[in-house]
Structure 1
Amino acid sequence: MNAHSGNEADLWSRIRRGFQMPELRTDLAQAQLSWYLARPEYVQRMTERSKLYLYHIVEALEARNMPTELALLPFIESAYNPQALSVAQAAGMWQFIPGTGRSYNLKQNMFLDERRDVLASTNAALDYLTKLHEMFGDWRLALAAYNWGEGNVLRAIARNRKAGRPTDYLSLKIPKETRHYVPKLQAVKDIIAQPEKYGLTLPSIPDHPYFVTVTTTRDIDVAIAAQLAGLSVDAFRALNPSFSKPVILGATQPQILLPFENAQMFEQGLKTYQGLLSSWTTYTVTKRERTAVLATKIGVDPATLVAVNKIPAGMRLKPGSTVLIPKAEDDEDISAHIAQNAVFALEPDVPDTRKMLIRVRRHETIAAFAKRYRVSVAQVQAWNHTKRTKLAPGQMVMLHVPISKKSTIVKAKLRARPLPAANKLTARTVKLKAQTPAIKHKAKIKPIKAPKTKANSSLPARKIASN
């Protein structure tokens, strides 16, 4: 492994100074330490990978006065791989399952998965951990709940209390994975605390920010963004793993992370760049059909359609599904289409929705019906296989709604999240404007500030992690 720097100003030293959790000296913790020590190459890969993200996480922890041991948790969760995906569909460095991610405001749609976003997922994870610590008053129990779910831990505590047994972490009856979870963190902590004791060395990580943010309001291809920043696509995606498609939507006001020098290069490149920033647009399927048939109809290579949209073999697309396709020269940006239709998120069909039949009110138009349930007219038309704009009194209309909101739908009292108006799609830190005679752009670099928010303890949260 690389030589460990003796520089006491590096980030590892700062992490050591922030340790707050009590030591866990058990046979299982020693066994986990032995496991890591037998795999020095694995330890090296993890620590090298963490160099991109660790400073930001330590800053965020210190801003909340939280133990810096928690900066080591992604080693356990994902080996510091923001692209990690478990069999339970937990994603990102912090391994959020879809439901918990939504509870902590991590956007998940066909273009973006903030469970993989370095800034958003870290903020959500620290919110969740803060809530768990406030709930249990003990970091070991909080970590067990992060892995197993707070409901399970509460029930385990209740069982012990009823039986007259202690209710601390070591006394609870918990699954094997959770029983190994805190000892794993202790093992990594031991390695970081004294690597030389175990014949290991850590890569030097300077105690200063690795990246800054840039925000765009125009669609831009990932490949072009990487090119303008002087990075390979892989290096660009390592800092920006939340972008699920080859295009980044300006309408979402995305925060693009770049090393400071590359952010300056990106700024200069935008000023002189000519031509289209994005080569992709979207197409909404109007009827159920196979991908090969659809590709022929819209003049797209079938292999490209399947690969870019990750369509399973043999799957037929449903009416209303949105797919990404190559853009013709005269096509508008996707963000322009979104703004024009005041629809913020283009999302594919998701499994946690249910079809409900809703009775139309007297003199209610399809536009009024769509407004009442906070969906678009196009969605209502697609779900009901119609292009009509008028509805008959008493007519039953199909609506796709989250399962969790079924009861309120039945009572015709659905309160879905409203869609933002087109005029709210404004820039925050970078403005990309077309100018004549050539297309020129301006960019502003923004440093990262550690979040200071706390968790909303009323949010339901449950997490399943795998290693």
Structure 2
Amino acid sequence: MRRLMLILAVAGLVSGWTPAQASDEDFWAWLGPQLELADIQHDEIDRWEARYRRRHVELEIILQRGKDFLYPLAMAVRDRGMPLEIALLPIIESHLDPTAVSDQGARGLWQILPSTAEHLGLKHDWWSDESADYLLSTRAALNYLEYLHDRFGGWLLALAAYNAGEGRVWSEMRRLNRRGDAFDLWTMRLPVQTQVYVPKLLGLARVLRDPHGVDLPALTTRRSFTRISTDGPLDVAQIADLAKLSVEKVYRLNPQLLRWSLPPQGPYTVYLPIESSAAFRHALAQMSDNQRRKWYRHNVASGETLSLIAKRYNSNVNLIEALNGLKSDTIKVGQTLVISDHEWGMGRATLNAARQRGRLDFAPRPLKAGYHQVAQGESLWSIARLYGTSVDKLRSHNDLNPRSPLVPGQLLRTGTTDGRHKVFYTVRKGDALSLIAQRYKVRVRDIQAWNQLDSSLLKPGQTLELRLPANSG
């Protein structure tokens, strides 16, 4: 592990997200000739190429929703002299959804596990998750892949180790070496998921190199967003106002933000559309220090109450409760509170990270009839119930084996013509599950399943996810 950390530390000093000169060259024409690993021949690669061509609609949806990331990813890979197929890994890993979280806790475009993220220097705290940061997660993933390449001596084994874990691949290499057998990706005994991982990537690369029959989204070799320093913490609502964007747009470009503000202790950077960057920088330069929200950390002492603490910091009890996720005004000695001196913009940037992320659906909606996008916590059983089908039929429609994991953002064929889309409903005073179910023509037990509700009790202001037929409002 020391060797890994040394390599990654050195790589981190020299690697970055290098902006390319803007141009209007077609991205796919630029990318295709540079996909050289796609020349590798194997029956399993042929099978995955055929599958992608046969199910091109799913691929088209994924590429459409994540098209803004593809050119920056490709440039980051090319600048290191790595095979450009590696820039396609987020299509396999997360379906180009930077908010994706797997059942094992892997996060972001590159689906980096928390334990790996820690070794790679990616931070995850109450304020932000660097595994979901475009630049930082890409830099970390490429550092790790370069390390795996150096350790295993080739890109195919490096990719297998990225999926299965370097320990698993190393153990298999040692086993084959003890027997005196030659080893490569195709002769190793690896998990089923890993056995198809590299062929899946290379089959995809073949399709993108020769996309006949696939309707690729229009995309040029021009970056659509840039990273800007804010020289201090800012509310998401403030950022939106300065850049003349919606709060939702800011969150969409900054999935690393788990709250309503940049972290009080930094980093003070934000991703914004290039066309908004000049106006943002100009407006930011005009902002005085007292217009920025002031943050404090307070350790509760014996005898203190929220009202006394609020008065001390010129804040208010409701704001302190909201900032700290408190359900009442009860606090404990030694508890640490985050405090602000005013609530500018609080009504426009939600405090609940899960609710905010859920509101930002990276897939076009409604989805085309016959498709379902997997949400966090869903299983094949719950999806089968939603569409009135069976788990076996879902597996058959999607070529899934019993060990195939579901990834949030993944698109599944349902085998039905019942296309559904998500809406988010805010509970109002007097609402009941039965009334909401009747209004939207869904079942109470389905609302409970979609929102993991243990009872029928609702609170005003609570957000519910509803999945409605495509032809409904």
TM-score (norm 2): 0.60
2:206 & 2:333 partners in 1: Cα distance? 55
Name the residue aligned to 1:16: 32
Map 1:288-437 to 2 at 5 A.
299-301=316-318, 305=321, 322-325=336-339, 327-328=341-342
Please report how far the alpha carbon of residue 26 of structure 1 lies from its aligned counterpart in structure 2 after TM superposition.
3.9
1:233 & 1:310 partners in 2: Cα distance? 21
Describe the superposition over 1:161-216 as per-residue Cα deviations: whole angstroms up to 9, x where unpaired: 223333100100011111121122022212211112xx112112111222222112
CA distance change for structure 1 residues 327 and 137 in 2, over 3 Å: closer, same or farther? same
Please tell me whether residue 143 in structure 1 is matched to residue 159 in structure 2: yes
> Which structure ranks higher in relative contact order (CA pairs < 8 Å, sequence separation ≥ 6)?
1
Please tell me whether residue 202 in structure 1 is matched to residue 216 in structure 2: yes
Name the residue aligned to 2:270: 256
Residue 235 of structure 1: which of 239, 243, 249 is its match?
A: 249
Describe the superposition over 1:320-366 as per-residue Cα deviations: whole angstroms up to 9, x where unpaired: 55444553389xxxxxxxxxxxxxxxxxxxxxxxxxxxxxxxxxxxx
Please report how far the alpha carbon of residue 111 of structure 1 lies from its aligned counterpart in structure 2 after TM superposition.
1.7
1:85 & 1:329 partners in 2: Cα distance? 31
Name the residue aligned to 2:178: 162
The 3-state SS of whatever aligns with 1:171 is coil
Please report how far the alpha carbon of residue 13 of structure 1 lies from its aligned counterpart in structure 2 after TM superposition.
2.1
Contact 1:77 1:465 survives alignment (8 Å)? no
Name the residue aligned to 2:260: 246
The 3-state SS of whatever aligns with 1:169 is coil
Describe the superposition over 1:352-391 as per-residue Cα deviations: whole angstroms up to 9, x where unpaired: xxxxxxxxxxxxxxxxxxxxxxxxxxxxxxxxxxxxxxxx
Residue 42 of structure 1: which of 53, 58, 82 is its match?
A: 58
2:58 & 2:306 partners in 1: Cα distance? 45
Name the residue aligned to 1:94: 110
The 3-state SS of whatever aligns with 2:58 is helix
1:294 & 1:26 partners in 2: Cα distance? 66
Contact 1:281 1:326 survives alignment (8 Å)? yes
Name the residue aligned to 2:194: 178
Contact 2:235 2:260 survives alignment (8 Å)? yes
Please tell me whether residue 29 in structure 1 is matched to residue 36 in structure 2: no
1:34 & 1:287 partners in 2: Cα distance? 65
CA distance change for structure 1 residues 85 and 208 in 2, over 3 Å: closer, same or farther? same
Name the residue aligned to 2:209: 193
Contact 1:147 1:465 survives alignment (8 Å)? no
Describe the superposition over 1:399-458 as per-residue Cα deviations: whole angstroms up to 9, x where unpaired: xxxxxxxxxxxxxxxxxxxxxxxxxxxxxxxxxxxxxxxxxxxxxxxxxxxxxxxxxxxx
Please report how far the alpha carbon of residue 32 of structure 1 lies from its aligned counterpart in structure 2 after TM superposition.
3.2
Equivalent pairs counted in the alignment come to 319
CA distance change for structure 1 residues 294 and 30 in 2, over 3 Å: closer, same or farther? farther
Please report how far the alpha carbon of residue 100 of structure 1 lies from its aligned counterpart in structure 2 after TM superposition.
1.4
Please report how far the alpha carbon of residue 278 of structure 1 lies from its aligned counterpart in structure 2 after TM superposition.
4.5
Please report how far the alpha carbon of residue 319 of structure 1 lies from its aligned counterpart in structure 2 after TM superposition.
6.0
5+ residue gaps in structure 2? 1-22, 311-315, 345-404, 411-473
RMSD of Structure 2 on Structure 1 (CA)? 3.4
Name the residue aligned to 1:286: 300
The 3-state SS of whatever aligns with 2:270 is strand
The 3-state SS of whatever aligns with 2:37 is coil
2:248 & 2:340 partners in 1: Cα distance? 21
Contact 1:16 1:68 survives alignment (8 Å)? no
Percent identical pairs in the alignment equals 31
CA distance change for structure 1 residues 154 and 255 in 2, over 3 Å: closer, same or farther? same
Contact 1:229 1:266 survives alignment (8 Å)? yes
